[in-house]
Structure 1
Amino acid sequence: MSIPKTHPFAFDPTYGMTLADLRAIVPPEAPPGFDAFWKARYERAIATDPQPVLRKSKLAHPDWRVLDITYTSTGGFEIGGWLLLPRARPVRRGLVVGHGYGGRDAPDFDMPVEDAAILFPCARGLSRSACPPIPADASGHVLQGIDKPETYIIGGCVDDLWLAVSTLLALYPWLLGHIGYSGVSFGGGIGALAIPFDPRIERGHLVVPTFGNRAQWLTLPTVGSADSVQRYQKTHGSVLETLRMFDAASAASRITVPVLAAVALFDPAVAPPCQFAVANALPTSKYNETFILDAGHFDYPGSTEQNAILREKVRDFFKVL
């Protein structure tokens, strides 16, 4: 391991915890009504017709056909993104790829999957799905509608993921049973919330997922989205009642499909104890794996080698989709 020894932060991004400490974290219990809330939300979401619209993109790549895509999500939100189609192979599987809280300005052409239609949606309010007056920055976006579970924007972002699956199936009905999800940071947390309630998602890859163990998420110093919520709570009162309904660790305990999680020992943006709460919540299974990164949201010696190993694991993980 090569956990960074020097950094510019005013706090310790390891939070004084060793790998053994992190592996011992017990995920939180879900609040009353958690399952009913999410099951009802899922049923409402998939009743929406995504009505995908495809256009040739200005972007080009030798291995992929690149299409700009829009589809309709809940509440009439138009979600924008990109669809990659293999140039030389038939489409045999599908993958939805979530983004971090910085949004997304292009698809990732380096995904280690083949024979796949890869959909890169932008969550509502962000990047190609910008929608004023929703703030387009992470610190404002994470507060939108936070006072009630029914209005909190994170729920809408989960809807957008479910409607991304619906979009792939509308375009390629034969992909039913062959759709996976991959998400990092914000996208990892959204994925953990979405996967257990959508039986159409067969595998999940969650990298440094946020939104785990919300009670702790509200207390640990960070440069990530939690900092904005912590500051909001100081002047507006507790938001924990809402946030517990959006706890990625509580949701992860309900995932029944294979998951490859990648969590970090050092991370200034998503506190490692919160990441490990998500990974530790995954049911014990020979099909689940937790990959340990020395750091997240931070450059460090050995990151290229670690990410290369993880990339090959991702390739093998989605091969059987």
Structure 2
Amino acid sequence: MKISQISPGAAVNEHPFPFDPSYGMDLDALLQVSAPDNAPSDFAEFWSRRYNEARDTTVEPKLGRKVRSARGVEFYEIEFTSVGGVRLGGWLALPADGEVERGFVFGHGYSGRDAPDSVLPVARAAAIFPASRGLPTKGLIPGVPADPGGHVLHGVESPATYIVGGCVADLWCAATALTELVPAAGRRLDYSGISFGGGTGALALPWDDRFTAAQLIVPTFGNHPLRVTLECNGSGAAVRERFLTDPAVLDVLAYFDAATAARHLRLPVHAVPALFDPSVPPPSQFAIVNSLAGPVEALVATAGHFHEFPQYTQETVRLVRATREFFAA
């Protein structure tokens, strides 16, 4: 693994949280965190079966109206069908000149997505920005909580019903929708996901040979047995509260551990874990990054899910540049 820091020596010195979002761990300590040892014996079989179900799904992509143009890229609304007959929305980005050489699938954070990214990492790419089932704005489903705390527990009583499994399937079906609408996107298909999208991406990618490379930014769902011991905000807090009253929930979450999945992920990965993060504890992030089985370029951020530190703008610019360099390789 190749490791560098965006801002060596930088740190978050002030924050409003009643706990320490660095958890008292420096980079050396974080690099020692591994995947949990409670992986189900049928983990790979479980996910291979889910993947085959997604590939057998008729996605029926429908291109909608053009919503805007920016920097030589045109953005359209899109709909497609995912596993279980769930109809989802999102956006499709196409080069204005029609020259497509590759494709991207972009996964969003747990707040959902209300618009596509305005800039793509490389030129001549077609990209899909799908909404995951149950999440704003184009994935909302009656009866499924849209808030992170409610969503992350929906159906957690069984691996067969847990909503995160459906969200992973949504990424596979989104890739199918993209390549059906724009076949040239399949020449080289890459993935980029942040937070929730980083975790679902790590769960999705090991089983799908259509992808060439991936970027995982502050990914979630890593090492659940460790994560539930760490105070945090957001969806992780809801999972931790559920664990404290129902420890057996870890038996289900073991099938949805992104660090366990990372041991099966052999694609080149650009990983962006953070040293400080109040929503996705850094040990959980590094459990994923440290477990990746293929070539890894790890670019360590000073903080994730937190912007109030002097180097934030500078780090954002550097991350954009590093992303372009990785996907251009």
Provide the TM-score with structure 1 as the length reference.
0.96
Moved >4 Å (runs of 4+): none
Q: For 2:282 and 2:63, how far apart are their aligned partners in 1? A: 39
Q: Deviations over 1:163-217 (max 9, x none)?
A: 0111111112233341000000000000000000101111110000000001011
Corresponding letter in the other structure for 1:6: E
Counterparts of 1:184-203 in structure 2 under 5 Å? 184-203=194-213
Equivalent in 107, 122, 125 of residue 131 of structure 2: 122
Q: For 1:104 and 1:176, how far apart are their aligned partners in 2? A: 24
Provide the TM-score with structure 2 as the length reference.
0.93
Q: For 1:263 and 1:162, how far apart are their aligned partners in 2? A: 24
Residue 228, structure 1, aligned to residue 250, structure 2: no
Q: 1:86 to 1:156 in 2, by over 3 A?
A: same
* Structure 2: gaps of 5 or more residues: 1-8
Q: For 1:284 and 1:94, how far apart are their aligned partners in 2? A: 21
Question: Contact 2:104–2:185 at 8 Å: present in 1 too?
Answer: no
Give the equivalent residue in structure 2 for 1:148: 158
* Structure 1: gaps of 5 or more residues: none
Q: For 2:27 and 2:278, how far apart are their aligned partners in 1? A: 16
Residue 10, structure 1, aligned to residue 18, structure 2: yes
Residue 272, structure 1, aligned to residue 266, structure 2: no
Question: Contact 1:22–1:272 at 8 Å: present in 2 too?
Answer: yes
Corresponding letter in the other structure for 2:44: D
Equivalent in 74, 84, 96 of residue 87 of structure 1: 96
Question: Contact 2:77–2:92 at 8 Å: present in 1 too?
Answer: yes
Give the equivalent residue in structure 1 for 2:301: 293
Counterparts of 1:1-321 in structure 2 under 5 Å? 1-29=9-37, 30-88=39-97, 90-127=99-136, 128-283=138-293, 285=295, 288-299=296-307, 300-320=309-329
Comparing 208-217 and 57-66, the one that deviates more: 57-66
Give % identity.
46
Question: Contact 1:177–1:200 at 8 Å: present in 2 too?
Answer: no
Q: 1:57 to 1:236 in 2, by over 3 A?
A: farther
1:39 Cα deviation after fit: 0.5
1:69 Cα deviation after fit: 0.3
The residue matched to 1:204 in structure 2 has which SS?
A: strand
1:237 Cα deviation after fit: 4.5
Q: For 1:225 and 1:59, how far apart are their aligned partners in 2? A: 32
Q: For 2:227 and 2:203, how far apart are their aligned partners in 1? A: 16
1:62 Cα deviation after fit: 4.6
Q: Deviations over 1:69-94 (max 9, x none)?
A: 00000000011100011113501110
1:236 Cα deviation after fit: 4.1
Q: Deviations over 1:134-179 (max 9, x none)?
A: 0011110001100100100000000000001111111122333410
1:61 Cα deviation after fit: 2.8
Q: Deviations over 1:201-234 (max 9, x none)?
A: 1111000000000101111100121101122233
Corresponding letter in the other structure for 2:11: I
1:27 Cα deviation after fit: 2.0
Corresponding letter in the other structure for 1:76: G
1:49 Cα deviation after fit: 1.2
Q: 1:25 to 1:62 in 2, by over 3 A?
A: closer
Corresponding letter in the other structure for 1:232: R
Q: For 1:155 and 1:168, how far apart are their aligned partners in 2? A: 20
1:110 Cα deviation after fit: 2.3
Q: Deviations over 1:24-79 (max 9, x none)?
A: 11222422110000001101111001100011133443522111000000000011
Q: Deviations over 1:272-319 (max 9, x none)?
A: 00000000001263xx20110000000121122222222122112222
**Count of residue correspondences:** 318
Question: Contact 1:210–1:270 at 8 Å: present in 2 too?
Answer: yes
Q: For 2:25 and 2:246, how far apart are their aligned partners in 1? A: 31
Q: For 1:145 and 1:213, how far apart are their aligned partners in 2? A: 20
The residue matched to 1:129 in structure 2 has which SS?
A: coil
The residue matched to 1:31 in structure 2 has which SS?
A: coil
Q: For 1:110 and 1:173, how far apart are their aligned partners in 2? A: 21
Q: For 2:128 and 2:188, how far apart are their aligned partners in 1? A: 14
Question: Contact 1:177–1:202 at 8 Å: present in 2 too?
Answer: no
Q: CA RMSD in A?
A: 1.3
